Amino acid sequence: MIMQGKTMHPSLDQVQKLLRDELKKAAGPPGENIPIMLERPKEAGHGDIATNLALLLAPRLKKSPREIAQTLVAALSLPEDILEEVEVAGPGFINFTLSRSFLRRGLRELLRCDESFGKLTTGQGKRAQVEFVSANPTGPLTVGHGRQAVLGDAVARILENASYAVEREYYFNDAGKQIRLLGQSIKAQYLRLSGEDASIPEGGYQGDYVEGLARRFMEKRGSLSPPPAEEEFTVFGREEAFAGIKRTLFRLGIHFDRYYSERSLFDSGRIENTIHALRAAGLAYDKDEALWLAGSTLGLDQDWVMVKSTGEPTYRLPDIAYHIHKLEQGYDLIVDVFGADHQATYPVVLAAVSSLGHDASSIEVLIHQFVTVKRGGREVKMSKRKGDFLTLDSLIDEVGTDAVRYFYLLRVRNSHLAFDVDLAVKESEENPVFYVQYAHARTAGILRHAKERGFSEPGMDCDADLLGEGEELALIRQLLVFPEVAAQVLKTLEPQRITVYLREVATAFHQFYQHHRVIGDEPALSRARLSLVKACRTVLSRGLGLLGVSAPDRM
């Protein structure tokens, strides 16, 4: 069962399993090895569930799909209390319509489960780690980092909804070249502020935020006597940048259970141990005074430098050591959330980890594409190195935390995201987060009004048989899909499906509210409709919660 607790009411997943079993029996030997696909029709008039099995069987049986579909329907043995109608449509689709009694029993079950509705038990007793953001502490988080932050946190919430014990981890580079460049850049700005001639190092960081760090260093450090060591600037810059990163993430409601330092991989000897293991396995060799990873031996298309001739490791080496460390912690699932710039890197890391005898099958890598910001219909140009980037903080200031989180999840992660600032601040149904939150606020307002009118708390004891209008049944149908959506996003780790679903629920609710008076002259009908409103509030709240977006009671 998807829904927790004892119940005689089947979930939609169980209904689909029943249909698959029945269709498989009806298809007989010709249906072997043909996947039975069930989908939700796009048009309401086409039922609740549909299959194209007859079209797939047609080439094998040398018959028309409609004839095959009619034969399949005649052979089905389906309980009347679940399905109201089965029909053949179009060229040979089979459409199934759920019965009203099934929908009403489902509503009662939803009300009984309340906030546990859609809670999964898949991860019961299992541990999961989600690593995300992991931006170098070299400056403020940008809007690009924001997508990864929100995506990673939403994935963690999806896993928690599936009963996993989830640990959120932030891996940060505090030992590499970029951190040193930050320190050198702050030093140059510090010297300029002190009246000396100094230039930003090649590849260094520019912009107001670096000058701000230099001013704060000056306030803390004071005079140039004795001259500050470069390491002082580096440590100061890293700590200040990290403090700012944590403040920004806090504004988004994101916390981490662990911050893992790249430097600790060197200090603990893990880097050296990894080099020794790679050499012993014949996966590393010396060339041109550098250490190379034998990618060709791993079945990859090229070799890569792991330690430069200068003695400085490239990022692949620490990543290999870090993932070996992760696997040693015994997680049942490890999720890495990376930007598109890691697309070519992670296969190398995982191949090396596997070749060293570690089972990397528990590692799931999620790659998201880049983000641009639109304002006034035009793209805002950004460059972090030049200092003319848009910070995540400024985006939060402009549109609010909820809009930031919701808009970052509006597109599937493998597609480019254009964040429309103008749309995000609109208070209209065009704005998807406003539209959904307004639906929740309206449900809360109706329930407050009912309480003021003397109605008791609505619940599963309502007479759901009184709910038979088209808009009422359409809303119930949408609400009962939530556990199925929760299961889908657990499988794909793609929160975008939730945003689509929530808009569908909000639309069904608004249509119901426009056509029917909730509190009317018939007390029993009013209580039934109030129970439906409460169920809608529960599902909207649960869905928004999985996205980390608030569910306001007033707007």
Output the domain CATH number for residue 51. Answer: 3.30.1360.70
Specify the pLDDT at position 331: 98
Indicate whether 415 belongs to any domain: no
pLDDT of amino acid 7: 42
pLDDT at 227: 72
DSSP E strand boundaries for 195-295: 258-261, 284-287, 290-293
Residue 19 lies in a domain: yes
Beta strands in 226-385 (DSSP E): 258-261, 284-287, 290-293, 304-307, 333-339, 363-368, 371-375, 378-380
Residue 119 lies in a domain: no
Per-residue pLDDT at 4: 38
Judge whether 91 and 55 are in contact, CB under 8 Å: yes
**The model's pTM:** 0.91
Residues 453 and 540 in one domain: yes
Residues 6+ apart with CB under 8 A from 299: 351
Domain final residue, candidates 224, 251, 278: 251
What pLDDT score does 1 carry?
31
Which whole number is the average pLDDT over 401-430?
A: 96
408 belongs to a structural domain: no
Q: Is the pLDDT of residue 311 over 60?
A: yes
User: What is the structure's pLDDT at 80?
Assistant: 78
Structural domain that includes position 483 = 432-547
Count the domains in the chain. 3
**Ordered strands of the 417-420 beta sheet:** 378-380, 371-375, 417-420
Q: Are residues 90 and 186 in the same domain?
A: no
Residue 147 domain-assigned (yes or no): no
Mean pLDDT, all residues of the chain: 92
Task: Say if residue 206's pLDDT is above 90.
Answer: no
**What's the mean pLDDT in 447-453?**
95
Least-confidence region, from 176-180, 259-263, 421-425: 176-180
Asked whether residue 511 is assigned to any structural domain, the reply reads yes
Q: Is residue 417 part of a domain?
A: no
CATH of the domain at 474: 1.10.730.10
Q: What is the model's pLDDT at position 224? A: 61
Taking only the tens place, the pLDDT of each residue in 84-116 is: 999 999 999 999 999 999 999 999 999 999 999
Q: Is residue 29 assigned to a domain?
A: yes
Residue that is last in its domain, among 63, 98, 133: 98
Pair (451, 541) in one structural domain: yes
Q: Give residue 388's pLDDT.
A: 53
pLDDT band at 550 (very low <50, low <70, confident <90, very high): very high
**Please, what's the b/e burial string for 371-400 (b: 16 or more CB within 10 A of its CB; e: otherwise)?**
bbbeeeeeeeebebbebebbbbbebbeebe
For range 471-499, the mean pLDDT: 97
pLDDT at 226 over 80: no
Q: Which of 98, 118, 151 is the last residue of a domain?
A: 98
pLDDT at 191: 87
Question: Above 80 in pLDDT, residue 237?
Answer: yes
Looking at the structure, tell me whether residues 91 and 193 fall in a common domain. Answer: no
